[in-house]
A and B are shown apart, each in its own frame.
Chain A
Amino acid sequence: MNGKTLSRRDFLRMSALTAAGTALTACARPTPEATEAPAVEEPATEAPAAEAPAPAEAANVVMMHQRNELSEDEEAQFEADYPGVTIELIEGDDNAFLARIAAGSPVDLRRTQAPAVPQFLNRELTYDLTPYFETSDVLKIDDLAPANAYYMANSPTAIGEGNIYGMCKDWSPDFTLWAFTDAFEEAGVDLPDDTTVLTYAEVADLAEKLTVFEGERIARWGYAYADGWIDRIWMSLLDEVGQSLYAEDYSSIKLTSNDDLKAMAQYFFDLASNNFVANPLNPSTSWIGDDFARGLVGVIQYGYWFGGMAESDVTAGKVVMLPAPTWSGKRLDRTITATGMFMVSKTEVPDAAWQVFEWYNGKEPAEARAASGWGVPALKSMYDLMPNETEFEQQKRRVLQDEIDLETPPMQFNPYIGAEVVAQTWNLYLEQALSGDMTLDELLATVEEEVNVAIQEGLERTE
């Protein structure tokens, strides 16, 4: 020690440097073990031996899920029914999920949605559950609702049939409409019959008539759709006309070379520029479901699940479910979320994890979900559990059944990019286009270029 004391200036300098340095630590890659992840014991494309799974031994199953979808009481009930197997529920998003894998402490079960499945398959993060399904008395393959096809695949680019890597907890045909009858009455517009299939052009017409302007202020938006899923909507509409959003091998997105897609983009752009929907220049501070429940939206496009929350103090008794509209006349209505669960390929307790998986998707929690009316059950045998008592419930069921009968096959999402890349890029630049700083063609070209870069990066990592 040289006896020199730390001056105030030195202290300030050190404090500033420390504070600046700490800013970077938050986004550092997780732990040194990140580069030493254990080898994949069960690659996704290699199924475990096709024989009856042995009863699970004592194990702790780590489940990355949402607490509001598995109560502590249900968890306790499971542990009482399955002695020796415990559930450790962790809440977290895909980044937390990947961080745990990189750190060498993967979870055993993970909540996900259909658009993420191809990428997880591509990166060999999913465990082949086919042998378990083949021998299960609870989750029978014949009983699986069609939306579960999102979790079946022969390869990451061949979703729909093949090995089973997971299943949805519930699902909905997601393109149905919900009308707020007061909005129709106030606008002097006839409410469509719930057996009439509207075209998207008619929906735009309704959107215009139902939108209420008061000076510069928008008192009610005529229409609302999930703009965070715009690519999924385009994919479904393109499917109607036999087109695809991506090249055949999923190595690029096609936005500028596809006239059908351009027409669809123009449609949604016009809705936004006319303020018939919430948009970046005239945003909603909440989310569209809440706006509808507050009576601020005339027609909203959401699946059957939305029926569980469509009625509020404002909208109770004033909501009607309508069939999915059509772009070209060909009727389709598919789920674009199929929220569910898969087993992680690196799990060390697959048998115990399967017990949790089977129980969650086929026993009491699944029955409770089915009876709640917040989605169509993932098992056809549970369809009858959906609520069907009140007039509103019966009306929903009638419309829903027609949509289920369409038997719309699943869509193939791109396995080389994250589920939000396309929609996030579109929405990022939409503000500039709406402000007149770029044309729609330039917007599409920019999104195409950025998404294609992301796809190429994904391809390079898996080559």
Chain B
Amino acid sequence: MANNQQAEGQRGARWRKSARGRKSARARRRTISFYLFIAPWLLGFVLLSVVPLCIGFFTSLTNYDGFDPADSKFVGLDNYTRAFSDDRMFLSLSRTLLWAAINTPLWLVVTFCMALVLNQKGIKGRGFLRTLYYVPSIVPIVGVVWIWKIILDNNFGLLNAIISIFRPGTAIPFMSQYALQSLSVIALWTGLGSGMVIFLAGLQDIPEELIEAAQIDGANALQLFRHVTLPIMTPIIFFQLVLGLISAFQQLVLPMLLAPGQEAGGWNPPRGSYLYMIHAYRQLFIYQRYGYSTALLWLLFIVIMALTLMVFRTARYWVFYEVEIEGGGQP
């Protein structure tokens, strides 16, 4: 009996060992498959992002000017310290912070509200309206800017012409003194579609039974929104907030194209829309300060990273996840 038990025990041990071996081989195969599948992306990421980032960082430690790299010198952290005595850098950073503070919440609120409206089942032509609101997002940016220049021009713009019907001779300086506000409107218009689509996808993912249960419990529309829709949408809002914040800090093309005086290569954004990326761009392409410009971009990266981490830190207080997540988060 004892011998039988011992033999069975040995067989069991062999079987378990063999099973572990099979599991281990399967795990290895899965690991290899995993890395093979992600290899194209990983290679692209390393070669097109990591390597240029490293080269960019190295450049920020030199006085390279775009000509012969042999003429450049290693200057240590000089480019970084220089930034802190650059008044224009501080101006551009403050304008960018203001821009992000205005534009990001505005974009989030408007696109979320639009998604809520276009998610209602009773709306006629809902598909058409969704397409219509997405159109600005697929118009080439140069075309967008020209449309808005025609509307906002100080002297010959459509908006001032309409206002002039009631108050002749009006020339509100949308393109100069109110450049940042104008920029916000244009950015909102172009970003409507992309923001709305993400929110719509999130809204359509809300389980019907939750809504029905709330309705059976007597929740009205406002309560339904406050206690069901909004909590479930918070991960999406969080995602949009992070991306919106990052893209606000990276804004370059819109203020650049909207800047007046583009003849003779002389575009100059007004102070109102002199954003951080504009300053970095000018340092690189006008003053040929490749080293300083890349240092400015690394500093921007640090600012974005810090703000993003701050947003992440706040997430535990307001982002609702459907499942318990290891290390924090609400149930």
Contacts and interface: CB of A to CB of B under 8 A. Distances in A.
Contacts of B155: 217-219, 282
A28 B294 contact: yes
B105 interface: no
A25 B265 contact: no
Chain B CB within 10 A, most for which of A1, A25, A227, A278 = A25
Contact of B266 (A12, A18, A217, A420): A420
B63 A29 contact: no
Contacts of A418: 286-288
Contacts of B262: 286-287
A9 B316 CA distance: 11
B206 to A, nearest CB: 15
A288 B263 CA distance: 7
Contacts of A219: 155
B297 A23 contact: yes
Interface in B279-331: 280, 282, 284-290, 293-294, 297-298, 300-301, 304-305, 308, 312, 315, 321, 325-326, 329
Interface in B21-76: 27, 30-31, 34, 45, 48-49, 51-53, 55-56, 58-59, 63-72
Contact of A12 (B31, B235, B265): B235
B30 A28 contact: no
Interface in B226-251: 235, 238-239, 242-243, 246-247, 249-250
Contacts of A99: 66
A281 interface: yes
Given A25-B48, A214-B169, A217-B160, A285 B242 contact: no
Interface stretch (A67-75, A318-326, A356-364, A453-461): A453-461
A34 interface: yes
Interface residues of B, number: 85
7 contacts: A20-B308, A28-B52, A29-B56, A34-B55, A280-B270, A282-B155, A423-B266
Given A283-B260, A417-B288, 5 more contacts: A24-B52, A28-B52, A102-B67, A280-B268, A283-B154
Q: Across the A-B interface, give the 8 residue pairs with the lowest CB-CB distance, nearest first.
A: A215-B169, A228-B264, A228-B266, A283-B260, A287-B263, A28-B56, A28-B52, A216-B171
Interface of B: 27, 30-31, 34, 45, 48-49, 51-53, 55-56, 58-59, 63-72, 149-150, 152-157, 160, 164, 168-171, 173, 175-177, 235, 238-239, 242-243, 246-247, 249-250, 260-266, 268, 270-271, 280, 282, 284-290, 293-294, 297-298, 300-301, 304-305, 308, 312, 315, 321, 325-326, 329
